[in-house]
């Protein structure tokens, strides 16, 4: 009988983990910043890793058709998306795949569009490449967060012809719908622009998820999807990702990436990814159900403990974008006095977000409540 909930170890056990989340700060700080979940990983993946270690099967990564086969099945069964297996490339992680794709296709000094508030890594990757971000912020409408298609059209018109899209969106949790993405693809096609769609959070979507490349010929002609099992199956340290195109034009651009992208990928990561997409699906369903409860728990606890903090339920993932504009507190104070680590809003698009912060709720309900109680105590 499978668990009805993905289990989180006790805090004492979590503090003995070796990852950055649990090592970066002293043990009096509750880390709710970096995007990794506290959950125990899927049993089939654990067994695969243990078996490979036991058999000393830890050499360099060779050809790995298992990943393409596994992702093909996963994308078809979950999202009705038929990938072109032959156009799938392996990469060390999503950051490396994005940086190498951009390095191979743009010159330093070029400009790339982002939609703030957005994952801080995007800014770091562009900085590494000496590429300037051009911000077309997400629109916050009555219906929730939406792509600003007029703003994107203006940016394309101005000659900025690459968009680094985050779908589903970190930190606001929006899973863009088919209508929006199809309209985006038509715009991109009209201006001969490229959409790099980072879909790393996709399997954790509560409702429907739409892959960019499933949005028809315009999307195929303009898009490259970069993703990994690392975020959704909690395997970030294993280092493996994939990059997919679906048209000769975009495949030719992806082919400019260095072969080292494959060779620098971890053998454990690649085979764990294939295992996760194939035999980790039950774990994933349980985890999404657990996160669904967590996002509702977070909302209820915010209303109880911090009623002036704004929060909208994300459509995907385990990140919460908190609006502190009605509360007299900063993330520095939350860190120094409440001893809770959040990601400061400005990391996700500059000072306009200085009254916001991102909180990770991929943990137990008790730890979520503990974090909010700590913050409530200093107000």
Ligand X SMILES: Cc1ncc(COP(=O)(O)O)c(C=O)c1O
Q: Work out how close the CB of 152 gets to ligand X at its nearest, in angstroms, rounded to a whole number.
A: 18
Give the full edge-to-edge strand order of the sheet including 88-91. 88-91, 241-244, 223-227, 194-198, 162-166, 111-114, 132-135
Which residue number, 30 or 343, has a Cβ lying nearer to ligand X?
Answer: 343
Per CB under 6 A, 363 contacts ligand X: no
Does 246 participate in binding ligand X (rule CB under 6 A)?
A: no
CB nearer to ligand X: pick between 273 and 302: 273
Of 175 and 329, the one with the shorter C-beta distance to ligand X is 175
Among 14, 30, 32, 35, binds ligand X (CB under 6 A): 35
> Do 133 and 114 touch, CB atoms closer than 8 A?
yes
Token pair belonging to 269 = 């990561």
CB of 329 to ligand X, least distance (A): 24
The overall longest dimension of the chain from CA atoms, in Å, is: 58
**Would you tell me how many other CB atoms lie within 10 Å of the CB of residue 249?**
13
Minimum distance from residue 40 beta carbon to ligand X (Å): 20
Closest CB to ligand X among residues 100, 220: 100
Out of 41, 90, 236, 368, point to the residue binding ligand X (CB under 6 A): 236
Comparing CB distances to ligand X, the nearer of 119 and 283 is 119
**Closest CB 103 distance from ligand X, rounded Å:** 15
Which residues 63-122 are close enough to bind ligand X by CB under 6 A? 93-95, 119, 121
- Other Cβ atoms less than 10 A from the Cβ of 137: the count is 16
With binding defined as CB under 6 A, does residue 200 bind ligand X? yes
List Cβ neighbours of 32 (8 Å cut-off, separation of 6 or more): 340, 341, 342, 359, 360, 361, 363, 371
Exactly one of 162, 214, 230, 294 binds ligand X (CB under 6 A); that residue is 230
Cα–Cα distance measured from residue 324 to residue 362, given in angstroms and rounded to the nearest whole number:
21
Sign of the Cα torsion 244, 250, 254, 255 reads: positive
The tokens for 352 are 């306009």
194 touching ligand X, by CB under 6 A: no
Kind plus residue range of the DSSP H or E element containing 152:
helix 149-157
Counting beta carbons within 10 angstroms of the beta carbon of residue 57, is it exposed (0 to 12), middle (13 to 18) or buried (19 or more)? exposed
The single residue among 45, 166, 273, 359 that binds ligand X, judged by CB under 6 A, is 166
Q: Distance (Å, rounded) from C-alpha 41 to C-alpha 37?
A: 9
Minimum separation from the CB atom of position 303 to ligand X (A): 27
Residue 318 as a binder of ligand X (CB under 6 A): the answer is: no
CB-count burial class (<10 Å; 0-12, 13-18, 19+) for 149:
middle
- Closest approach of Cβ 312 to ligand X, in Å? 18
* Binding segment toward ligand X, per CB under 6 A, in 211-219, 228-236, 245-253, 263-271: 228-236
CB nearer ligand X, residue 100 or residue 221 = 100
Name which of 172 and 338 has its Cβ closer to ligand X. Answer: 172
Q: Closer to ligand X at the Cβ: 224 or 306?
A: 224
Site for ligand X, rule CB under 6 A: 35, 93-95, 119, 121, 166, 170, 198, 200, 228, 230, 236, 241
């Amino acid at each position: 009988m499978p668990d009805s909930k993905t289990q989180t170890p006790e805090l004492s056990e979590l503090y003995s983990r070796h990852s950055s989340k649990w090592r970066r700060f002293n043990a009096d700080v509750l880390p709710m910043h970096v995007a990794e979940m506290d959950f125990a990983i899927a049993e089939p993946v654990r067994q695969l890793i243990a078996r490979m270690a036991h058999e000393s099967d830890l050499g360099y990564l060779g050809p790995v058709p298992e990943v393409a086969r596994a992702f093909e099945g996963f994308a078809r069964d979950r999202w009705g998306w038929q990938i072109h297996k032959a156009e799938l490339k392996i990469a060390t992680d999503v950051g490396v795949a994005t940086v190498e794709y951009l390095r191979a296709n743009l010159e330093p000094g070029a400009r790339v569009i982002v939609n703030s508030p957005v994952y801080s890594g995007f800014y770091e990757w562009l900085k590494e490449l000496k590429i300037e971000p051009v911000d077309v912020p997400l629109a916050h409408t009555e219906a929730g967060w939406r792509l600003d298609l007029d703003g994107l059209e203006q940016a394309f018109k101005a000659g900025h012809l690459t968009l680094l899209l985050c779908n589903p969106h970190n930190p606001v949790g929006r899973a863009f719908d088919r209508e929006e993405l199809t309209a985006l693809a038509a715009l991109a096609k009209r201006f001969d622009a490229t959409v790099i769609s980072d879909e790393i959070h996709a399997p954790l979507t509560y409702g429907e998820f739409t892959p960019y490349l499933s949005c028809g010929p315009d999307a195929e002609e303009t898009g490259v999807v970069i993703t990994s099992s690392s975020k959704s199956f909690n395997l970030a340290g294993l280092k493996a990702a994939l990059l997919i195109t679906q048209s000769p034009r975009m495949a030719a651009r992806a082919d400019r990436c260095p072969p080292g992208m494959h060779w620098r990928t971890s053998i454990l990561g690649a085979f764990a990814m294939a295992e996760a997409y194939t035999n980790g699906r039950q774990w994933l369903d349980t985890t999404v159900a657990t996160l669904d409860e967590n996002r509702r728990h977070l909302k209820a606890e915010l209303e109880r403990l911090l009623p002036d903090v704004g929060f909208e339920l994300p459509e995907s993932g385990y990140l919460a974008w908190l609006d502190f504009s009605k509360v007299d507190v900063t993330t520095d104070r939350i860190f120094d006095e409440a001893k809770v680590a959040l990601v400061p809003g400005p990391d996700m698009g500059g000072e306009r977000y200085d009254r916001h912060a991102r909180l990770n709720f991929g943990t137990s309900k008790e730890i979520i409540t503990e974090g909010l109680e700590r913050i409530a105590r200093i107000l």
